[in-house]
Amino acid sequence: MHVEFLVEESSAEVALRNLVPQILGNAATYDIHPYQGKQDLLRKLPARLSAYKKWMPDDWYIVVLVDADDEDCRELKARLEAAARQAGFATKSAPANDGKFRILNRVAMKELEAWFFGDVEAIRAAYPRVPRTLAKRTRYRNPDSIQGGTWEALERELQRAGYHRGGLDKIAAARSISAHMRPERNKSRSFRVFCDGLRAMVGG
């Protein structure tokens, strides 16, 4: 069993390389393909899926992960679903008659960095000077509802603690934080939905 991940940027790739083994264990092999941003992924997705359809083995699966940002998540998810349907793939939202599906479309609310705020212990393990009280602040209690941009919020909090003073290095931060994340304690609902869908895909 094998899973192909299509993600919008390299920060998502490095995070998933730390997280997927925890979620899937030895249930499947995987590879991750980053794009040059969400619009690049969305523009190329129909052709990419059509190409997969021509040769993909029966035990291969595809996960498409994008950030919601400020877009309507339902409209964004519908666009992903339409691309899968056009290519002839069943998805988790629209499975085949036997309930099986080959594509999992997931939208991170609102950005990947919300998943990091869902595990403040991981942030502190990567950046020890971040205060323990971070998780108790009202604005961070629901990571999927952080206002004003989650990567901006992460940059601000890390800079307050003396890190990334020249600006947030999103790839370095994603690699460092995700190395300490534990899926079972994450408070981000969109991250838990991602994990559940991935396990369902591979029958876990």
What pLDDT is recorded for position 72? Answer: 85
Neighbouring C-alpha atoms within 13 Å toward the C-beta of 38 = 17
| Confidence at residue 147, expressed as pLDDT on a 0 to 100 scale | 85
Please state whether 89 falls in left (phi above 0), alpha (psi between -120 and 50) or beta.
beta
Place of tokens 């995987």: 30
pLDDT of residue 204: 54
* CA 104/CA 202 separation, integer angstroms: 11
Start-end of CATH 3.40.50 domains in the chain: 2-110+188-201
Q: What's the half-sphere exposure (Cβ side, CA atoms, 13 Å) at 119?
A: 25
Distances in Å between the Cα of 105 and the Cα atoms of 82, 123, 193 are 11, 27, 11
- State the pLDDT at residue 28: 92
The residue among 123, 141, 142, 145 whose CA lies nearest residue 132 is 123
Residue 176: per-residue pLDDT: 97
User: Whose structure tokens read 């838990």?
Assistant: 192
* Cα(54)–Cα(48) distance, integer angstroms: 10
| Gap between the Cα atoms of 90 and 149, Å rounded | 33
Q: Is 13 helix (H, G, I), strand (E, B) or coil?
A: helix
Write down the pLDDT at residue 70. Answer: 82
Task: Provide the CATH number for the domain formed by 2-110+188-201 in this structure.
Answer: 3.40.50
Question: Model's pTM, two decimal places?
Answer: 0.94
Side-chain half-sphere exposure of 18, counting CA atoms within 13 A: 20
pLDDT in tens, the chain (204 residues): 999 999 999 999 999 999 999 999 888 999 999 999 999 999 999 999 999 999 999 999 999 999 988 888 889 999 999 999 999 999 999 999 988 899 999 998 888 999 999 999 999 999 999 998 998 888 898 999 988 889 999 999 999 999 999 999 999 999 999 999 999 999 999 999 999 999 998 875
pLDDT tens digits, 46-102: 999 999 999 999 999 999 999 988 888 889 999 999 999 999 999 999 999 988 899
Longest Cα–Cα distance of the chain, Å, equals: 54
Extract the tokens encoding 185. 């304690």
Q: Which ranges constitute the DSSP H helices of the chain?
A: 10-24, 38-55, 73-87, 112-117, 120-126, 150-160, 170-178, 189-201
At 156, list the tokens.
């601000």
Tell me, what's the pLDDT at 178?
98
